Amino acid sequence: MTEAKYIWMDGELVPWRDAKIHVLTHTLHYGNAVFEGTRAYQTDRGLAIFRLEEHCKRLFNSAKIVAIEPNFDYETVKNAHIELLRSNDFSSNVYIRPLIYLGYGVMGLYHSHAPVNTMIAAWEWGAYLGEEGLENGIRLCTSSITRNPNRSTFGKAKAAANYLNSQMAKYEAIENGFEEALMLDENGFAAEGTGECLFIVRDGKLISPPNDNSLESITQATVIELAGEMGIEVQRRNITRDEIYICDEAFLTGTAAEITPINSLDHRVIGNGRRGEMTKAIQDAYFDIVYGRDEKYARYLTYI
């Protein structure tokens, strides 16, 4: 990890190496915290955060879902993102990680009396699934791990505890020689990747599962908006793993993964085994937006 200068901790800019917490921090033991993954891109007009409002809204919604009362208001947290990026000298693209967590002072599962803390860190981070992956695609496997079921967890919250599920699925995929895992829901339909949503292309149409069993993804929403503008029909419906085997193209979307083509699933080559034409067109359009080259989407960028 590339270190930066400062981390924003409860209203203060703290030198990176001094941003420490106590070992009895509540979240460290019981996993209740909410976070975001947001990106800022180096545009011609300097660093710009992509869809800051939407990420901050989801952060506060996540906190509401897991019954954490944030210790700062929405505007303060949003502005702290900007302050943090201004205080660090970033020369390439940046990943931003705000986290609202339960701090030190209370133990036991009843969390309501635990203090709440907020931190925002940012560091220079390239393509999550590799530059090579963005261009040539990645190999996926269907995970043996079912995506967190709605009856036992809160999938609309980007909550730390949800990611044990994703982490185990990712571990299994990598150890088995794949780059990423596809998790199915309890009914056997494609839910999402470990940190991405799924799209497939069939007969010129773009298909993505509904968000019944996935995070409400900001990248997915952006792609759907883009597709509408490009005249591509979008269907939101359930997808089975064998439909993915026989689709024409497939890709994953996420703030970290951006638009990453899928070459194969469970060793079945998808399409021609390379980035498909529609995937490339959507990828290009997405990068035009995040790099500030598409004026129509200027509203999604917060310049630093």
Ligand X SMILES: Cc1ncc(COP(=O)(O)O)c(C=O)c1O
Q: Any idea which residues carry the catalytic annotation? A: 158
Among 192, 195, 179, 244, CA closest to 36: 195
Task: State which residue, 27 or 194, has the beta carbon closest to ligand X.
Answer: 194
Of the residues 179, 185, 196, 258, which one makes contact with ligand X according to CB under 6 A:
196
Shortest Å, Cβ 37 to ligand X: 5
Tokens standing for residue 303: 């310049």
DSSP 209-274: --GGGS---HHHHHHHHHHHHTT--EEE---BHHHHHT-SEEEEEETTTEEEEEEEETTEEPTTSS
- Contact between 148 and ligand X by CB under 6 A: the answer reads no
- Contact between 40 and ligand X by CB under 6 A: the answer reads no
Shortest Å, Cβ 223 to ligand X: 9
Which residues are paired to 264 by β-bridges? Answer: 139, 269
| Residue 115, phi then psi, degrees to nearest 5 | -65, 150
118-146 burial, b for 16+ CB within 10 Å, e for fewer? bbbbbbbbeebbeeebbeebbbbbbbebb
- Cβ neighbourhood burial of 19 (10 Å; 0-12, 13-18, 19+): middle
Determine the interface stretch with ligand X among 23-31, 42-50, 128-136, 192-200 (rule: CB under 6 A): 192-200
Task: State which residue, 8 or 286, has the beta carbon closest to ligand X.
Answer: 286
- Contact between 208 and ligand X by CB under 6 A: the answer reads no
Task: State which residue, 254 or 271, has the beta carbon closest to ligand X.
Answer: 254
Of the residues 208, 255, 264, 283, which one makes contact with ligand X according to CB under 6 A:
255
Of the residues 180, 192, 249, 258, which one makes contact with ligand X according to CB under 6 A:
192
Task: State which residue, 214 or 283, has the beta carbon closest to ligand X.
Answer: 214
What is the rounded radius of gyration, in angstroms, for the C-alpha atoms of the chain?
Answer: 19
Binding mask 86-115 for ligand X (x = CB under 6 A): ------------------------------
Determine the interface stretch with ligand X among 61-69, 109-117, 126-134, 248-256 (rule: CB under 6 A): 248-256
- Contact between 209 and ligand X by CB under 6 A: the answer reads no
50-59 burial, b for 16+ CB within 10 Å, e for fewer? bbbebbbebb
Shortest Å, Cβ 281 to ligand X: 19
Tokens standing for residue 135: 């261009």
- Cβ neighbourhood burial of 20 (10 Å; 0-12, 13-18, 19+): exposed
Shortest Å, Cβ 141 to ligand X: 17
Of the residues 62, 166, 260, 263, which one makes contact with ligand X according to CB under 6 A:
166
The DSSP bridge pattern shows strands 38-43 and 46-50 to be antiparallel
Shortest Å, Cβ 156 to ligand X: 11
Question: What residues from 211 to 230 belong to the interface with ligand X (CB under 6 A)?
Answer: 214-215, 217-220
- Contact between 197 and ligand X by CB under 6 A: the answer reads yes
Report DSSP state, residue 173: H
Binding site for ligand X (CB under 6 A): 37, 166, 192, 195-197, 214-215, 217-220, 253-255
